[in-house]
Amino acid sequence: MGCIAMMGGDGLKAATESAILAANYIAKRLSPYYPVLYSGPGGLIAHECILDLRPLKETSEVAVEDVAKRLMDYGFHAPTMSFPVAGTLMIEPTESESKAELDRFVDAMIAIREEIRAIEDGRMDRADNPLKNAPHTAAMLLGSAWTHPYGREQAAYPLPELKQNKYWPPVGRADNVYGDRNLFCYCVPIADYA
């Protein structure tokens, strides 16, 4: 609550306008590649851009989870998945995101769409591709065995600029269903705090 009071009315208005502008910028740039849900007159949206990935499941067998995990190879934590609509990504850029960072995200989403198009066109395997195997850890890429039909470089550096500034996901793909059904805690026992 203190931050809201410190910003004051003018600051809150400016932050809101910036977030809405950023979401609309993303929506306009990505609308040729992904359907955007819940747009109003003139194609404008509010503070969130909801991309509909459901049609991709039929054409390529790529699900929203695959795109979310591939975003890690591009250096992004996935946006909200499947809320408020199953099979969608909800992107809510904050007022603090620079245009360069918005462009970096949009470029990653466009490159991912091109990877999906390669699957749709039969240029990439439907089951063994960078999206289905994402994220790619350094350990996976440096291991001696590489059995995938795509190269290590495509897995690790899907965009050239990632060679200069790469985030390495620490963990590869987890079995989400198993994890959801078999919860376990790695918390330090309370007794260790005494």
- Give the CATH number for residue 45: 3.90.1150.10
pLDDT of residue 37 exceeding 70: yes
Per-residue confidence (pLDDT) for residue 19, from 0 to 100: 92
Using one digit for the tens of pLDDT, what is the confidence trace for 130-166?
Answer: 999 999 999 999 988 999 999 999 999 999 999 999 9
- Asked if the structure places residue 43 within a domain, the reply is yes
Region 101-110: what's the mean pLDDT?
A: 97
- Asked if the structure places residue 78 within a domain, the reply is yes
Domain count, the chain: 1
CA–CA separation, 113 and 119 (whole Å):
10
59, 33 Cβ separation under 8 angstroms: no
Q: Residue 41 sits in which domain range?
A: 15-193
- Asked if the structure places residue 44 within a domain, the reply is yes
- Asked if the structure places residue 95 within a domain, the reply is yes
- Asked if the structure places residue 24 within a domain, the reply is yes
Per-residue confidence (pLDDT) for residue 1, from 0 to 100: 61
C-alpha to C-alpha distances, 76 to 11, 154, 161, 182, nearest whole angstrom: 28, 17, 14, 27
- Asked if the structure places residue 168 within a domain, the reply is yes
Q: Which of 69, 84, 15, 85 is nearest to 47 (CA)?
A: 15
- Asked if the structure places residue 6 within a domain, the reply is no
Q: Which of 33-37, 66-70, 75-79, 118-122 has the lowest mean pLDDT?
A: 75-79
Q: Residue 61's pLDDT band (boundaries 50, 70, 90)?
A: very high
Using one digit for the tens of pLDDT, what is the confidence trace for 1-19?
Answer: 677 788 888 888 888 899 9
Stated length of the chain: 194
- Asked if the structure places residue 5 within a domain, the reply is no
Scan for tokens 């989403």, then name that residue. Answer: 109
